[in-house]
Amino acid sequence: MAALASVMLTSSLAQARDNDLVLSRYSTFEPEKCGPRPDPNAPVSDTNQPQSICGQVQPDTAAFNSLVVDLGEVFAPRIGNPAETLGQAGFAFAAMGSVSFIPNTNDYWQLVVEDGDPPPAMFTGLVQVRKGLPFSFEMVGNMSYLSNSEMFAVGADLKWALHEGFFYMPDVAVRGSVNTVLGSEYLNLVTAGWDVSISKNFGLGGVVSLAPFAGYQNLYVIGSSRLINAYPQDPRPPQTNSNNEVFAPEFVFDQHTASVNRFFLGTRLNVWILSFVLEGALGQNVNQLTFSGGVDF
């Protein structure tokens, strides 16, 4: 029974979902009849001559590069908290929900998603774990999942509060982050960046505190593809026949790196050990709204 359940689960996970990517659609391959012909002057259309299929793929690099930048923003690390750290003994856990507003009417989005109908907003679920370190440092681990797809991301952040806890002055922190997107059959995608945030904590009645924060993030998005076959119905490897006619349906998208500027604004509400955060992000092509709830120890 356990083995059967495992097989069913694996089969379910292997099924393409509406938000999964079909990168082969970013290419044009027009197969033509070709092959060795006993009579060199015989036309290609002569069906009495032994023939096969030839052709070369034409990838749409511009569409792929645009998708890489947008997905980088969808999976970008959220600031998620004010500039202050947890302290050396602190620990926090949070569950987040994030809505990313994508330019879904653009051709490169319409073409690439599995069902051909990308939603105007994509939902991402995130889990974040934070641990305070000495000298005002904080380590963060996170994992996110893009709904209705097989794509998820894992990453880590390191934050350093330049100063915190001063009565009149706001807290200021800098952070470095890196995320890797997994689950897509053909896409390689990594985001790395740094950000700076500023915040101020206000106590309300001794039990409740409110901490508005704002930040700027410089995000580097690095994307490429694995080997893609634009004509999978023909199992032959790429080749050139005796007539110098080429069969080359396979291609890759070379690495594309883009720098993206993003701005954040949010607030955190603490009630005892419970923590709630509302955050908005303004990006290059993708804007986000994120809500989180968790516990701080």
- pLDDT tens sequence across 103-149: 999 999 999 998 888 999 999 999 999 999 999 999 999 999 999 99
The dihedrals phi and psi of 209, each to the nearest 5 degrees, come to -135, 150
Q: Do the Cβ atoms of 97 and 123 come closer than 8 Å?
A: yes
Q: Which pLDDT score is estimated for 49?
A: 47
**Segments making up each domain of the chain, as ranges:** 20-296
Fold of 20-296: Lipocalin (2.40.128)
Ranges of beta strands (E only) in the chain are 27-28, 32-34, 52-56, 58-59, 91-101, 121-133, 137-146, 152-163, 171-182, 187-199, 202-204, 208-225, 228-229, 239-240, 246-248, 250-251, 256-271, 274-282, 287-296
Q: Which pLDDT score is estimated for 9?
A: 36
Q: Count other Cβ atoms within 10 Å, centred on residue 264.
A: 21
CA-based nearest residue to 72, from 256, 228, 207, 253:
256
**What whole-number distance in Å separates Cα of residue 172 and Cα of residue 85?**
10
Q: Which pLDDT score is estimated for 36?
A: 64
Q: Do the Cβ atoms of 171 and 82 come closer than 8 Å?
A: yes
pLDDT digits (tens, 9 = 90+) for 171-221: 999 999 999 999 999 999 999 999 999 999 888 777 899 999 999 999 999
Model confidence, pTM = 0.85
Q: Do the Cβ atoms of 174 and 85 come closer than 8 Å?
A: no
**What whole-number distance in Å separates Cα of residue 69 and Cα of residue 220?**
9
Strands 52-56 and 246-248: parallel
